[in-house]
Amino acid sequence: MNWLLSQEHKMVRASVRKFAEQELGPIAEEIDEQERFPLEVYQKAGKLGLIGSIIPQAYGGGGADLLTNGIIKEEFCRISAGFGMSVNICTTNFCYFISKYGTEEQKRRFIPPVISGEALGSWCLTEPEAGSDALSIRTYYVRRGDRFVLNGSKTFITNAPIARFFIVVAREKGSKGAKGATLFILERGMKGLSTGPPMRKLGMRCSPTGEVLIEDVQVDPSHILGEDGEGFPTMFETLDLERILGANTSIGIAQACLDASVRYAKERRQFGRPIAEFQLVRNMLAEMATRLEMSRCFTYCLFPRVEQGQKITKEASMAKYYASIMATRAALDAIQIFGGYGYMREFPVQRYLRDAKLVEIGGGTSEIQKMIIAKELLR
């Protein structure tokens, strides 16, 4: 795998690993238990340039390639997947997409507070009645003079309870299908915009998730991201990258499972020897490591292709689908290797399982990924 990485990539991995182990490691269980997002670590990550690595330097970012962001996400997720997921929404779904589709004014206004760690962003597509069927969203806007008035609600939105900014997908009242949607950048404090309390979740518990309620929110055209009416094509373009980065979450969690399992198998003794000497345990380790490296290799190869503008919808779905199942399996096997201790809350492997499962659902379920892969094959 190492041959794919430049010297810079290796240095980024080493320094983010150290940061995550030092800053998140000691609190990972506590923030999961308390369902608390560690703002203090987010702010430190901002100061070190870890939130804005892929943002152009002109807007305060690091100007790095997309693989760098994948490695950062993976290393955060290796220690705390909830933290990695929340940060990545800020980095990719909010800042990177604004750097790509936003106006000069939007880039200067919305990106710096987020990449510096001062504020969080969010991406608001899912609604109570529109999940997998994203085109069926009901949040709508009407034009009133030179302003837009939005109404609707979003649910399961990562960072919503604490975010300052919200990219909201809404459709023009009366429009249907893939036409007529627009992306709006909303800001906390706008009249009619509110958020619900944090939802109680199985995993990813330090990442706050919640509802966004939009009631007669008035915005002027300076809040439109990309072309008015072109929201769905823009959104679908962004989904490919989001899915590849979903695979990075799984890769980070699976690496945590493997590291913990190898360590434990060498330490734990039964029948007078370390359990690592038993073939059935070795089999689990070998399978876990093989599937992990396959996922990593395939996923990393996709980033340069996104940068070259290649259409990789099928491959992005394959990466997310395979890696998410791979990580859930790795977590189940890690629990098995830990035996009864694996089932106890003071050991982290049960958290890895709860976190891993989310990637099979969020950002498009495994069923939806398989539908996309088959559709692309049969096109």
* Site for ligand FAD, rule CB under 6 A: 89, 123-126, 131-132, 156-158, 201, 204, 209, 358, 361-365, 367-368
Q: Select 12 or 134, whichever has its Cβ closest to ligand FAD.
A: 134
Count CA within 13 A, CB hemisphere, residue 211: 12
CB 108 within 8 A of CB 69: no
Q: Select 204 or 316, whichever has its Cβ closest to ligand FAD.
A: 204
Q: State how far the alpha carbon of 100 is from the alpha carbons of 93, 114, 122, 200, 237, in Å.
A: 11, 16, 16, 33, 11
Sign of the torsion formed by the C-alpha atoms of 177, 180, 183 and 184: negative
Quote the CA–CA distance of 65 and 55 in Å, as a whole number. Answer: 9
Catalytic residue from among 242, 267, 277, 346: 242
CB 111 within 8 A of CB 55: yes
Quote the CA–CA distance of 71 and 57 in Å, as a whole number. Answer: 19
**Amino acid letter, 205:** R
Q: Select 93 or 261, whichever has its Cβ closest to ligand FAD.
A: 93
Quote the CA–CA distance of 303 and 261 in Å, as a whole number. Answer: 29
Helix (H, G, I), strand (E, B) or coil at 189: coil
Q: Is 40 a catalytic residue?
A: no
Quote the CA–CA distance of 121 and 186 in Å, as a whole number. Answer: 10
Q: What is the DSSP string of 292-328?
A: HHHHHHHHHHHHHHHHTT---HHHHHHHHHHHHHHHH
**Which residue has the closest beta carbon to ligand FAD?**
131
- Nearest Cα neighbor of 32 from 77, 83, 71, 108 is 83
Residue 25, burial from CB neighbour count under 10 angstroms (0-12, 13-18, 19+): middle
Q: Select 131 or 348, whichever has its Cβ closest to ligand FAD.
A: 131
Q: Select 154 or 296, whichever has its Cβ closest to ligand FAD.
A: 154
The least distance separating ligand FAD from the CB of residue 215, rounded to whole angstroms, comes to 19
192: its two tokens: 């009619």
Quote the CA–CA distance of 116 and 138 in Å, as a whole number. Answer: 34
Q: Select 34 or 57, whichever has its Cβ closest to ligand FAD.
A: 34
264: its two tokens: 């434990």
Quote the CA–CA distance of 92 and 266 in Å, as a whole number. Answer: 39
Q: Select 79 or 204, whichever has its Cβ closest to ligand FAD.
A: 204
Active-site positions read 242
